[in-house]
Structure 1
Amino acid sequence: MLSHVFVGINDFERAFGFYSALMDTLTLKLKFRDEQTGCAGWMAADQPRPLFVISRPYDGNPASVGNGQMLALLAPDRATVDRAHAVALAQGGSCEGPPGVRPQYHEHYYGGYFRDPEGNKLCVCCHDPA
C-alpha cells in the first residue's frame, strides 16, 4: 500500500542517531544515508519497500510537525514495542503514552507513543495477542 514515509527533520545528525537506534530495535536496515542533503532511509531486510525516510525539506524551509499527524510502526510483538519505546526515550524522544493495551482500538492492540527530538509523533504497535 505504501511506497515510503517521509519525515521532515532539521538536525540531521541528531535525527539520524534517534532513528538509527529505533530502526535497529525494529530490525530495519539502513538503505542509504546522504549527509550532504541530510537524508537517510531504512527498509525491511527482505523487501525494498516501503521505505522510512528522514530528510531536511527539499524547499529549504525548516521542517515542522503537523497537528494530528502520526506515524505508526509495526512491531512483531509486545516486547519489541516496549524496547522501541524505551530506546526512543533514551535517544531524546518524549513520551506521548507508555506502552500498553489500547482496547478502544481493538482487544489486542498494544502500542507505545512518543515524539522524536524534533516533535514528530510516532507510535510503535503490535496487533497480536500477548
Structure 2
Amino acid sequence: MISHTHIGITDFDRAFAFYDRVLSALGWVLKFSEPEKAWAGWMVPHQARPLFLIGRPFDGQPHVAGNGQMVALLAPTRAVVDQTYTTALAQGVHSEGAPGLRPQYHANYYGAYFRDLDGNKLCVCCHAEEAVP
C-alpha cells in the first residue's frame, strides 16, 4: 500500500483550486492546507492513508513534470471517472485520453487521463464491472 504521493507544483493557489475540485469529484476530502508553506493534502474520508499531497519541490528548485511518470487515482465507479475527468477538463487542462474501457489492461479497466496545470500526468480509473441497474 502507498502511504502518500506528492505532486510538484509551481503556483500553490492555482494548483490548490484545481486539485480541490478534482479530488472533491472523486469524493476525497481536504486533510490540511498550509498556503504559507505551499502544500496541501487530501484523503479518502475516514482513511488516514494514502494521502495525496501537492507542494513546491523540497529542494527549492522549479518543478518539472517527469516523462513517464503518472499518478493513478482510484474511483469507486465509472460514473465518478467520467465526472472527475469532466471536472478536470473544465479547468482548462489537456486531455491524455477520454474515459473509456481499456481492455488491453483488463476486461473491466475503465480510465481517463489528463495533465494538471503543471504538466503532471494523472489517471482516474475504476476496476469494477459496470453497475447494472
3-state secondary structure, aligned to 1:111: strand
**Take 2:48 and 2:58, find their aligned partners in 1: how far apart are those partners?**
23
Aligned to 1:74: 74
Once the two structures are superposed, what CA deviation does each residue of 1:74-115 show, in whole Å capped at 9, x if it has no partner? 000000000000001112221000000000000100000000
How do residues 1-130 of structure 1 correspond to structure 2 at under 5 angstroms? Answer: 1-130=1-130
TM-score by length of 1: 0.98
Question: Aligned letter for 1:51?
Answer: L
3-state secondary structure, aligned to 1:36: helix
Question: Is the contact between residue 73 and residue 123 of structure 1 (CA under 8 Å) also seen in structure 2?
Answer: yes
**Take 1:92 and 1:47, find their aligned partners in 2: how far apart are those partners?**
30
Deviation at 1:32, TM superposition (A): 0.5
3-state secondary structure, aligned to 2:123: strand
TM-score by length of 2: 0.96
Deviation at 1:44, TM superposition (A): 1.0
Work out the percentage of aligned pairs sharing the same amino acid.
58
**Take 1:5 and 1:61, find their aligned partners in 2: how far apart are those partners?**
19
Question: Aligned letter for 2:70?
Answer: M
**Take 1:122 and 1:3, find their aligned partners in 2: how far apart are those partners?**
18
Once the two structures are superposed, what CA deviation does each residue of 1:21-72 show, in whole Å capped at 9, x if it has no partner? 0110011110110111110000011111110000001111111111100000
Question: Aligned letter for 1:98?
Answer: A
